[in-house]
Amino acid sequence: MCGIFAYKGKRDTSLDLVVKGLQKLEYRGYDSWGVASEIDDNIFVEKSTGKISEVKEGAFADKKSHMAIGHTRWATHGGVTEENAHPHLDGDGEIAIVHNGIIENFQEIRDELGHGIFKSETDTEVIAQLIGKYRKEMDFKEAVLKTIERLEGRYAIVVMNKGEEFLIAARRGSPLIVGVGEDEYFLASDIPAFLEYTQDVNYLDDNELVVVDGGIEFFSLETGEKIEKRLVNIDWQAESAEKGDYDHYMLKEIMEQKETILRALNQDEDQINTVVEAIKNARGTFFSGCGTAGKVCMTGEYFFAAIADRHVNFQPASEFPIYHHFLRPESLLVTVSQSGETADVLEAMEVAKSKGSKVLSLVNVEGSTISRESDYSLLINAGPEKAVASTKATTSQLALLLLLAYAIKGQLQEGRRHLSEVGSQINDMLNPRFLTYIKEVAEKVKEANDLYIIGKAENYPMALEAAIKIQEVSYIHAQGFPAGELKHGPIALITEGTPCLSIIANDEVKADVINNTIELKSRGAYIIGIAPENNDVFDEWIKVPDVGVASPLVNIIPIQLLAYYLSTLKGLDPDMPRNLAKSVTVK
């Protein structure tokens, strides 16, 4: 939800560098963009609606400066207009600010400052105007601190002031990371934005402020004292955050599942044992996550029941707080999040912690807020995931939950063996013929207005996830159901030719799902079967390997591909679906 990038350092191409960094953060928001820098003793601002990816390389080559800030926006307060794009300035045009998050008391500050001075409808502009007001009475840093004291809500901000050669940034609730290069510093919402320049980072924690001058200094916003920070080396290669030869990140990330399952298994055994003990000792285990991660949690419920013989409760993170009265100090909340920054998940964690419960998180982004605020945290090691629609993170999360289920049963090595085998089966499955066939299926159903998906047991959550994938990138109305629920309502929606995906694993519920598929077929549905074995009821058969209880991992991949081809065949951009953002840091 909005991307921030700022630079201060030895290069005089800061504006172009900021544009390039923002282009790597575009997955966080792509309604509009803007940059600011001091040029010829004035604050220069360029903003525009539309995508930052459309800005040409070297667009600011004639504007030399060593410090610049920039932003790519996902609109919350105020429509998608040039005025509402960041950076925002104070009344004198001397303070420039970029912001990610929500200022909850912005209306009150607007009323106080007088509406006439505002040029935009955003909550962000109140920060610029307040700093500008205080700046008249005190120095820049004090003015920023005094402003921050007034702000309620979640934010990451970067501010510059005409005539001052340093940046000030602060964080409360929205991510901000400092990349530390040689005589240069990068401030960004996410690491891939500066990965080509440095792998050394300082994470800004909540209620911290950083001043980026010739060096960097961190301060606590609560005590005002200086803080020493540990430099962390990130083990991500710059290429892994690039598209490479693929047209889209989504396809690249789907194909990466040839290796990512194995990377998810790359866990420290002592850490797994600690986590397993925490799960075993818990009285009341809850799974929670949002969107796709939530569907992974639901699948985890089945894995834990089937393999570890443990009952867990799932709630989407946005619904979790109302269950607070079931939480006790012995309870365990297990959160799943690709980004590690999702606001609803953080809120669920706050609720659990307020009851003294422990939190275990499974995240992809090392050092993310969710991982740092957890008692225990495991990394899924999928590498940067840039496409808004989650793909490789999904199967890695599933793999890690399945591995944990095995470990709880005392069968960690067996779990590893099973999942390694699944990894190599996925490698074989993702061959050119397989992709061509899925594209052909997509061609046949791309004009459909509605598409339904059924699954049962651990593949029921995958039917829901399939619907999310198809909705997100193809805009086709897609809905997933538990196969057995069809006859209780949804079957009324089936008419001649309605495409239906039926996920049928080789398990004890197979016969039931086949029967439900026959029920669909007899109402005229066009059946696309996802199964290890063919069946007469299928109009199309997408053959997947038979991997036992791990079937959700192999079943979801062809559906990710189908969603991708539905999107591209319709001329859409699967990496940047309308109205969505990769990381949702507002409630």
Where along the sequence are the contacts to ligand G6P (CB under 6 A)? 290-293, 337-339, 342, 345, 388-390, 580, 582-584
Q: How far is the CB of 531 from ligand G6P (least distance, A)?
A: 26
Of 147 and 292, which has the nearer Cβ to ligand G6P?
Answer: 292
Neighbouring CB atoms inside 10 A of 447's CB total 10
Report the first-to-last Cα separation within the chain, whole angstroms. Answer: 11
Residues 6+ apart with CB under 8 A from 281: 330
Strands 216-220 and 167-172: unpaired
Q: Which of 133, 252, 295, 582 is catalytic?
A: 582
Residue 42 in tokens: 């004035």
3-state DSSP call for residue 26? Answer: helix
Nearer to ligand G6P, 147 or 361 (CB): 361
By Cβ distance, which residue is nearest to ligand G6P?
291
Annotation says 290 is catalytic: no
Who contacts 371 (Cβ-Cβ below 8 Å, separation ≥6)?
340, 361, 363, 365, 377, 379
Question: Residue 476 has which token pair?
Answer: 């086709």
Calculate helix-pair angle for 460-474, 291-306, nearest 10 degrees: 160
176: closest CA among 215, 210, 145? 210
- Max CA distance (Å), the chain: 80
Q: How far is the CB of 84 from ligand G6P (least distance, A)?
A: 22
Q: How far is the CB of 16 from ligand G6P (least distance, A)?
A: 29
| 146 assigned to active site | no
Phi-psi region of 27 (alpha: psi -120 to 50; beta: other; left: phi over 0): alpha
CB 577 → ligand G6P: shortest distance, Å? 8
Instruction: State in angstroms the smallest separation of the CB of 177 from ligand G6P.
Output: 16
> Minimum distance from CB of 107 to ligand G6P (Å)?
26
Element (H, E) at 111: helix 106-113
Residue 211 C-beta: closest distance to ligand G6P, Å: 30
Cβ proximity to ligand G6P: between 29 and 70 the closer is 29
- Residue 329's nearest CA partner among 380, 278, 373 is 278
**Nearest residue (CB) to ligand G6P, 544 versus 584:** 584
With respect to ligand G6P, which residue has the nearer C-beta, 47 or 295?
295
**Cβ-contact 317, 342 below 8 angstroms:** yes
Concatenated DSSP letters of 405-472: HHHHTT-HHHHHHHHHHHHHHHHHHSSHHHHHHHHHHHHHHTT-SEEEEEE-GGGHHHHHHHHHHHHH
Cβ nearer to ligand G6P, comparing 35 with 467:
467
**342/371 with CB nearer ligand G6P:** 342
Known catalytic residues?
Answer: 2, 582
